[in-house]
């Protein structure tokens, strides 16, 4: 008798509707409609994703939303190639950043070991590595959070990092790690979907 | 008349059940039951999360699952403090790693610009930064994927990175970025939930 294999989708606790919204049918958008993104939606993304884990609960991700007009123009000049026009047109744009001063909050967010504040203070290199790693984990949560809000995200690594940092974070405490366009997908928002690596190329068992 | 404010939960397209499963009621687990995690569940996590975005679709995250017995013992010796006992006991353990040789797949996964393979080949420093950043984004997706499978994740940064790399990735191509215990939450699996930063501490508008 032929064996009946379970579909991957059926092995998950997450509903198939949610799988589609966040992962299997979600796409990075290259164009957006004029429909605005509200401040309440941006806040709802934060209130959802803030619960996802970081090491020692340090939560070093920071988000700068850059409104259209003078502020957006200042950002666009640091975007590379095609990203400039995309960022100029997007209804909302977030600069995701790692806060190198995250450790000031340790006594509040990790009261189990408040002394971690001082050990991070004493070791700026370890502190920056911790900030960048955990803020990047949180950037992953953020991109899925945008989708959870029913919006499309257009993450972009193609920008002048020193330029963005100098423009918006001149005191050196926040460091940009990713720029994300946000909105409702517009005409021709997607390129054809690109191939994913196979399971055996990614996962090993030992 | 008092203003009726929408609940953050109601502003999202993601169902409240899925919000709870992935974010608002999910917790990092410190203990697990003996109930096994199946290879089919681990595969389903991959098949879900592989669709989330990476820069130039490069997908540099790799996953090594370390079974109980001799292999697990080899990993446990590199875990720090309390993490050793947790990793010894977990039904499944994943070592998440960044593949510094991810660029060999560029002509397949990003056929729009196959020449990126050569430019990454020529610049190992930029290649490693790209691998680590994007694998870390994917680690964020992975942790939510474990929850999507109805399982609890226990991510741990407290391990000897050089020790783990030397033990399991002696050719230097994969670099461990996070160790994740996986299973069904056991007795006293959770510490009290720790506070999150406030919106105004994390998000700015300009």
* pLDDT tens by residue, B22-55: 999 999 999 999 999 999 999 999 999 999 999 9
Q: Is B59 within 8 Å of A197 when comparing Cβ atoms?
A: yes
Contact pairs from chain A to chain B, CB under 8 Å: 231
> What is the arithmetic mean of pLDDT over A75-90?
97
Q: Which of left, alpha, beta for A59 (phi over 0: left; psi -120 to 50: alpha)?
A: left
Q: Residues 6 or more apart from A83 whose CB is under 8 A from it? A: A156, A158, A159, A179
* pLDDT for A108: 97
Confidence grade of residue B140 (pLDDT, cut at 50, 70, 90): very high
Instruction: Pick A194's closest partner by Cβ from B65, B109, B148.
Output: B109
Tokens of B179: 């160790």
DSSP letters spanning B172-202: SSEEEEEEEEEE-B-TT--PPPPPPPPHHHH
Quick one: closest CA in A to B8, which residue? Answer: A44
* pLDDT for A2: 53
Q: A102-123, pLDDT tens digit by residue?
A: 999 999 999 999 999 999 999 9
> What is the arithmetic mean of pLDDT over B141-167?
97
> Which residue shows structure tokens 């100098």?
A166
Q: Is A204 within 8 Å of B65 when comparing Cβ atoms?
A: yes
Instruction: Pick A14's closest partner by Cβ from B21, B51, B204.
Output: B21
* pLDDT for B4: 64
> What is the arithmetic mean of pLDDT over A175-180?
98
- Tell me the percentage of chain A whose pLDDT exceeds 90: 93
Nearest to A135 by CA among A103, A101, A109, A99: A99
In chain B, at which residue ranges do the beta strands (DSSP E only) sit? 61-65, 92-99, 152-156, 174-183, 203-205
Quick one: closest CA in B to A9, which residue? Answer: B44
Q: A141-164, pLDDT tens digit by residue?
A: 999 999 999 999 999 999 999 999
For residues B101 and B62, is the Cβ–Cβ distance under 8 A? no
pTM above 0.80, yes or no: yes
Q: How far, in Å, are A196, B101, B122, B138, B166 from residue B61 at the CA level?
A: 12, 11, 21, 6, 18
Q: B64-118, pLDDT tens digit by residue?
A: 999 999 999 999 999 999 999 999 999 999 999 999 999 999 999 999 999 999 9
Q: Is A8 within 8 Å of B48 when comparing Cβ atoms?
A: yes
Quick one: closest CA in B to A72, which residue? Answer: B206
* pLDDT for A191: 84
Nearest to A181 by CA among A30, A59, A36: A30
ipTM: 0.96
């Amino acid at each position: 008798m032929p064996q009946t294999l379970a579909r991957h989708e059926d092995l998950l606790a997450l509903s198939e509707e949610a799988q589609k919204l966040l992962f299997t049918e979600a796409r990075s958008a290259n164009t957006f409609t004029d429909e605005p993104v509200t401040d309440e939606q941006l806040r709802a993304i934060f209130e959802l994703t803030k619960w996802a884990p970081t090491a020692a609960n340090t939560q070093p991700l920071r988000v700068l939303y850059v409104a259209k007009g003078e502020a957006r123009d200042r950002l666009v000049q640091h975007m590379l190639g095609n990203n400039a026009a995309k960022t100029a047109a997007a209804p909302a744009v977030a600069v995701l950043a790692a806060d190198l001063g995250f450790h000031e909050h340790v006594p509040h967010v990790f009261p189990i070991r408040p002394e971690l504040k001082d050990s991070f203070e004493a070791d700026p290199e370890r502190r920056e590595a911790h900030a960048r790693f955990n803020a990047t984990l949180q950037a992953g949560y953020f991109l899925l959070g945008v989708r959870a809000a029913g919006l499309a995200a257009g993450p972009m690594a193609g920008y002048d990092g020193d330029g963005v940092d100098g423009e918006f974070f001149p005191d050196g405490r926040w460091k940009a790690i990713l720029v994300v366009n946000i909105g409702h997908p517009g005409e021709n928002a997607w390129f054809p979907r690109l191939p994913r690596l196979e399971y055996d190329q990614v996962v090993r068992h030992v």
